[in-house]
Amino acid sequence: MAQVTASLVKELRDRTGLGMMECKRALAESDGDIEKAIEELRKSSGMKAAKKAGRTAADGLVAVKAENGYGLVLEVNSETDFVARDEGFQGFVGAVLDAAYAGKQTDIATVMAGDLESAREALVQKIGENISPRRAGSIEAAVVGGYVHSNNRIAVVVGLTGGDEALAKDVAMHVAAVNPAVVSSDQMPAEVIEAERAIFVAQAAESGKPAEIVEKMVQGRVSKFLKESSLVDQPFVKDPDITVGKLVAAGGAEIVGFVRFEVGEGIEKEEVDFAAEVAAQVKSAS
């Protein structure tokens, strides 16, 4: 019998999207022959999930759980918003959230090990779409609050040094609506500031003004960029007459940090030409 190496298991997982133990068993039964293992897996119900694994899952839901000084936000993807409204899918998201929260675990592979991965595969078989728990993020602070936008596509968790959960939830609601980059301007990465500065320099240079005036224009625009991007300097969405920083200070608190997830952000969606796809299928069948 051929040795089933870790690299063989990884290759089969990459090609099928199935779990490690299922791939290892299939390779053992096929004497280490990947093509034979794939052929046998195609005959099993589990392969239905694997066939979907290469398809882009850029829709789905986000969820939050925040209490007792710990908050966690989770994103689980599906291929369509139709599936995102499915009760079975929503129940699965809840189960993943509970498991991640209970273990204070943000590593998705660790969260999904065992029964949850089996539940995911069963759900894929039932629904017929790729289901992919994508990421989790957490905040630990004296006070935490979470907010999920009504369409379940944006979720935020916020940590404060003081105040109460209502204040933390108000800040989370603001973060969901405005999407600040950082808590305060001193947290903005230097490379981001320099990139913005380079753009402003190029724009100001076209004005034809003296160099010292151009420098003042650039500095002013950089300052404006930092204020607009920093949570504490932004006008509070529920009362634009005060900044978020002043709101929090009035509540006897400071902002520790926040995590904001929006469904599908950063995922490059595959544009499918359905007419071409149907034509190709017809051609291959003839």
The structure tokens listed for 104 are 């204070």
- Whether 67 and 122 map to the same domain: the answer is yes
Tokens 């204040």 -> residue = 167
Read off the pLDDT of residues 241-268 as tens digits, 9 standing for 90 and up.
Answer: 999 999 999 999 999 999 999 998 887 6
276 in a structural domain: no
pTM of the complete model = 0.74
In a domain, 194, yes or no: yes
Query: In whole angstroms, what is the distance from residue 11 CA to residue 265 CA?
Result: 28
Is residue 201 located within the same domain as residue 121? no
Q: Are residues 78 and 147 in the same domain?
A: yes
Q: Is 285 left (phi over 0), alpha (psi -120 to 50) or beta?
A: alpha
Poorest-pLDDT segment among 56-70, 164-178, 202-216, 226-240: 202-216
Same domain, 198 and 122: no
Query: Do residues 101 and 120 share a domain?
Result: yes
Domain that holds residue 14: 6-52
CATH code of the domain covering residue 221: 1.10.286.20
Please name the amino acid found at residue 57: A
pLDDT of residue 208: 80
174 and 225 in a single domain? The answer is: no
What's the total number of domains in the chain? 3
What's residue 151's pLDDT?
Answer: 84
Q: Are residues 100 and 135 in the same domain?
A: yes
Q: Is 64 in the same domain as 172? A: yes
Judged by DSSP in three states, 33 sits in coil
pLDDT in tens, 115-143: 999 999 899 988 888 899 999 999 999 99
Same-domain pairing of 38 and 158? no
**Which burial class, exposed, middle or buried, applies to 7 when counting CB atoms under 10 A from its CB (0-12, 13-18, 19+)?**
exposed
Is residue 156 within 8 Å of 102, Cβ to Cβ?
A: no
How many whole angstroms separate alpha carbon 111 and alpha carbon 271?
Answer: 31
Provide the CATH number for the domain around residue 167: 3.30.479.20
pLDDT the model gives residue 272: 47
Residues recorded for the chain: 286
- The CB-based long-range contact list for 9-13 (8 Å cut-off, 24+ gap) reads 12/37, 12/38
Q: Are residues 28 and 101 in the same domain?
A: no
